[in-house]
Amino acid sequence: MKEQKLSFLEDIDRSWTLFLDRDGIINRKIENGYVLNLQMFEFIEGALEALSILANIFNRIIVVTNQRGIGKGLMSVKDLENIHNYMLKKVVQARGRIDAIFYCPHDYEKEQCNCRKPKIGMALKAKEIFPEIDFRKTIVVGDSLSDMEFAIGIGGIGVYVGKDMTHNLNFLRFENLKEMAKFLSRED
């Protein structure tokens, strides 16, 4: 696996795009719940540093996040915008970059959509705005099976971040975003 990781690393240049899930990657995930407001939003240790490192590696960094709490009526779009504005401000202060954020507000139990991961609607929207995106040159970082299926759906490379993955799938794995960023930047 190490040789496979090294050859993968050599292919990445500034023409690549990074898609990031939000909850569990950038901020702490609330198990069996939702980050509903700014008071509940907490960066994962090392995430801001990771985004600073990744800004020097990737041409585009795009957050794609399912936000079912909106569809369930637990939070408003304004609540989500407040969270994202705060997140973007802190990322810029840490010398990082997020070029765009796409979210799916739908409650899949009530309505069908093409944007809830693992569906690829958010990636297609990103490509509309950034036509230079080549899905064959994308990395999708997430902490769930739906994130990895999203990666497969767009023809990108899935990278699982988290302490354990119960799904028997062959993806690159890192404990957290900072570990992945250091690996890609060839830092020890």
pLDDT at 169 over 80: no
Q: Distance between CA 141 and CA 174 in Å, rounded?
A: 10
CATH number of the domain located at residue range(s) 2-184 in this protein? 3.40.50.1000
- Find the largest Cα–Cα distance for the chain: 47
Active site residue 13: no
Output the pLDDT for position 3. 42
pTM for this one? 0.92
Please give the mean pLDDT across all residues of the chain: 91
Q: Which of 11, 13, 21, 188 is catalytic?
A: 21
The pLDDT confidence band at residue 65, using thresholds 50, 70 and 90, is: very high
pLDDT at residue 6 tops 60: no
Strand partners, 125: none
Res. 165: pLDDT tops 60: no
- Rounded CA-CA distance 120/68 in Å is 16
State the amino acid at position 81 in one-letter form. Answer: E
Q: Which of 11, 13, 23, 147 is catalytic?
A: 23
Tell me the domain boundaries of the chain: 2-184
Whether 164 sits among the annotated catalytic residues: the reply is: no
pLDDT at position 11 is 80
What is d(CA 124, CA 97) in angstroms, rounded to the nearest whole number? 21
| Axis-axis angle for helices 47-55, 177-184 (nearest 10) | 30
Decide if pLDDT at 161 tops 70.
yes
- The token duo for 181 is 């960023």
The residue to which tokens 């990895």 are assigned? 148
Q: Above 70 in pLDDT, residue 115?
A: yes
Helix (H) or strand (E) holding 157: strand 157-161
Mean pLDDT for 84-111 is 95
